[in-house]
Structure formats: C-alpha cells, structure tokens
Amino acid sequence: MECGFSLVEQTKIVTAASELARNTVIYGGGGDMRVERVQEGPKRTGLRLTFEDHGPGIADIELALRDGFTTGNGLGLGLNGARKLSHQFDIWSKPGAGTRVTITRWK
C-alpha cells in the first residue's frame, strides 16, 4: 500500500500502531485491526488504522487519555501517545462491551 509517507511519518504510524495493538492485546484480550488507505479530495492521501476489542472497556476515557495514566505496569503513554502521533483520533469504549480506537495519519 503506497502512500508516500516519509521515514519520520512511517515511524509515527508504526509507533502509534504498536501502542494501540499492545493495548488491544493486554487490556482487551485481543481483537482486530483494520488498515485502510483513505483519500480526501484529489491530493490528500492517508492511512487509517482501527483497533477493536471486546474486552472490559474503559470506564473513564478522559482519564485514560492523560499522560502518565496506566492501569498496568506501563508508562501510561499508549492512548495519549497514539493520539499525539495521529492527525485524527477517535475512541469509543463502553464498560463490558469493549473498545474501538481509530487513528488517521495524512500525507
């Protein structure tokens, strides 16, 4: 999937994806990831990644997005770090129903 991202942009995407995949496995008990190339107008190309699990969900999303917040042994940079590395960030979560995080990085 050719999008023309620079090495720095690729590194940001991979880092964000790694953090979200880790959260999906550790906190969500596993799940799915979808990758799509997105086009907005004739010149704007991007990559959209969606991570979804059916784990316990996140009770307080606002708290979970704070730097340093963790429910495990990590540094607490996962969700907010992924948000900072993305141009668009969307999260949905419901306790007992799971979590879905979608990030988009534009070229």
pLDDT in tens, 55-92: 999 999 998 888 777 666 555 568 999 999 999 999 99
| Enclosing domain of residue 71 | 17-106
User: For residue 68, what is the domain's CATH number?
Assistant: 3.30.565.10
Distance, CA of 82 to CA of 62 (rounded, Å)? 14
How many structural domains comprise the chain?
1
65 found inside a domain: yes
pLDDT attached to residue 78 = 82
User: Does 1 reside within a domain?
Assistant: no
| Span 14-47, pLDDT tens digits | 999 999 999 999 999 999 999 999 999 888 999 9
Burial label, 82 (beta-carbon count in 10 A; 0-12, 13-18, 19+): buried
The predicted model scores a pTM of: 0.90
Within a domain: 7: no
Assigned domain for 8 exists: no
Q: Is residue 22 part of a domain?
A: yes
